[in-house]
Amino acid sequence: MSSFVHIFVFSYCFGLINLGFSEKYRALMLDFLKGFICVVLASAYVNTGLSFLVSTIGVVIGHKWPVTSRFAERDGEAVLLGILLATSTIIAVACGLFFLILKKTIKKHNISIVITGFMLVLVLLVLRKPDSLVFTGIFMLLISMVQFLSHPEEISKRLAGRWFLRKSVLLKIVLAVVIVVTAVLMFFNRYVYKGFGMQVDLIRNGPRELKYVTLTFDDGPDPIYTPQILDVLAEKDVKATFFLVGNHASKYPSIVERIHTEGHSIGNHTNSHRSLVPLSKAATYGEIMLAEEAIEAITGEKPTLFRPPRGVYSKYARELLKDKRYTIVLWDVSSQDWEETRHTDIVKNIMNRTQPGSIMLFHDSGNVISSSGGNRSNTVKALPVIIDGLIERGYSFITIDEMIILKGLFEAEEGLFEDY
């Protein structure tokens, strides 16, 4: 996650800038440019939604709560507007007009900002914008509420004494949210998408003695990135394995047909990408079987490979999958592309960790929380570099089905030698 550390540090330092303009117009213009330029530079460095979020947090915190004692806490609506304009021009213009109309109507500056913040979050949710942009909107709303509480003259006497309108309470909530989100992201980064410990009856890798590796893609199909990935694989004449979400397969059957027709393996990745823990037995059964039915209806073949979302599964799921003759497939190398880092970081993650028999985890869809969306442009950009680099090292690419056969043959051969 070094890219995002760089973005945060730069954004925070950028937020500290204060030229001491006495004219309010110049001061607001500087604040606006800080937010706008900071997000534009962050997107030039890593053009993903998460880079927008990290940049937003950095520049706003630097602007409002600088570590230096020279500056008092400053209002941040101009910074937020600059950020919003760099993120989405249409939404920024709409929010600006809504704010001006609201301010003229109720004649309360900071209350108008808070209401506009609520509307922004609502619009992002209704328009199904990426999770990272929704989080950015929520952060903006929290900041606007903190700013509102910094101006007690706008708070009615009836509400002034309420505990939930105390600035210290809201700041604690903001801090708690940041800590929880950071902890969750660290958990996913360290344990989930890097994988748990070895389970002897699951396949996480193939034979270490042979230079065969497997590319796997989770959470698709996606109408934008899956076809691009298939184009790269076709150009490089490489077969891979796609673990499909049932709902997505039903929505984009032509892409599923293409995956199948071009000779790639297809696996079951549940029907809606719900974590199998702590689902009930009935819900677990539905997630697995509905996805199976969706895939089989399109390809004419029952999938025999299964990958649990985030690598987490229950005892019941494991028993059910065994009964339904599935092979549970995990991984031993993660590209960590879910973080939406630069394509060079994705290449580095794979090239530094791949070894004979590796099963590599990528994503052709999937957002920070939801199962669809997300920016996989850097995955597409990294893929040909990774394929060429591993071929230069003497590796060959096979599907999971072929890896399972190879692993079985190799273990059987070892068993024969042990008998002598």
Tens-place pLDDT, residues 141-156 = 888 887 777 665 555 5
DSSP annotation of 205 reads B
Cβ contacts of 65 within 8 Å, gap of 6 or more:
73
SS3 state at 20: coil
The CATH topology of domain 212-419 is TIM Barrel (3.20.20)
The pLDDT of residue 353: 94
The pLDDT-based confidence of 301 (bands split at 50, 70, 90) is: very high
pLDDT in tens, 228-240: 999 999 999 999 9
Q: How many CB atoms lie within 10 A of CB 405?
A: 13
Q: Which residue has the higher pLDDT, 343 or 180?
A: 343
Identify whether the C-beta of residue 62 lies closer than 8 Å to the C-beta of residue 34. Answer: no
Calpha distance 30→19 (Å, rounded) = 8
Please check the confidence at residue 291 and state whether its pLDDT lies above 50.
yes
What distance in Å separates the CA atoms of residue 108 and residue 263, rounded to the nearest whole number?
63
Span 256-267, average pLDDT: 96
Task: Examine the residue annotation and report whether 364 is marked as an active-site residue of this protein.
Answer: no
SS3 307: coil
| Ranges 69-73, 239-243, 278-282, 323-327: which has the least confidence | 69-73
CB 8 within 8 A of CB 32: no
Residue 141 is predicted with a pLDDT of: 85
Q: pLDDT (tens digit, 9 = 90+) per residue, 317-358?
A: 999 999 999 999 999 999 988 888 889 999 999 999 999 999
- Residue 193 — pLDDT band, cuts 50, 70, 90? low
Kindly report which listed range (254-263, 282-291, 297-306, 339-348) carries the lowest average pLDDT score: 339-348
Report the distance separating Cα 226 and Cα 193, nearest Å: 20
* Helix/strand/coil for 170: helix
The more confident residue out of 404 and 297 is 297
Give the confidence band of 417 by pLDDT, cuts at 50, 70, 90. Answer: very low
- The pLDDT of residue 344 is 92
β-partners of residue 291 are: none
Q: Who has greater pLDDT, 415 or 233? A: 233
Residue with tokens 């309360």: 108
pLDDT above 70: percentage of residues in the chain: 82
Picking from 30-44, 160-174, 286-300, 401-415, which range would have the lowest pLDDT averaged per residue?
160-174
Strand pairing report for 359-363 and 212-220 = parallel
Confidence class for position 159, pLDDT limits 50, 70, 90: very low
Q: Do strands 265-268 and 241-244 pair parallel, antiparallel, or not at all (unpaired)?
A: parallel
Question: Can you give the residue ranges of every domain in the chain?
Answer: 2-151, 212-419
The helices-and-strands tally (H runs, E runs) of the chain is 17, 8
Higher pLDDT, 313 or 223: 223
Do residues 71 and 24 make contact, with C-beta atoms less than 8 angstroms apart? no
Q: Give ∠ CA 160-162-164 in degrees, rounded to 5.
A: 115
Q: Which of 218, 337, 364, 401 is catalytic?
A: 218
The answer to whether 363 is a known catalytic residue is yes
- Which among 219, 363, 364, 401 is annotated as catalytic? 363
CA gap 296, 253 in Å, rounded: 11
For residue 342, what are its two tokens?
């630069």
Question: Is the pLDDT reported for residue 264 higher than 60?
Answer: yes
What is the band of 111 on the pLDDT scale with cuts at 50, 70, 90? confident
Output the pLDDT for position 419: 44
| CA dist., res. 140 & res. 310, Å (int) | 29
pLDDT at 19 over 90: no
- Alpha-carbon gap, residue 330 to 201, rounded angstroms: 11
Strands 333-334 and 212-220: unpaired
Using the predicted structure, report yes or no on whether residue 59 has a pLDDT greater than 70: yes
Residue-averaged pLDDT of the chain: 83
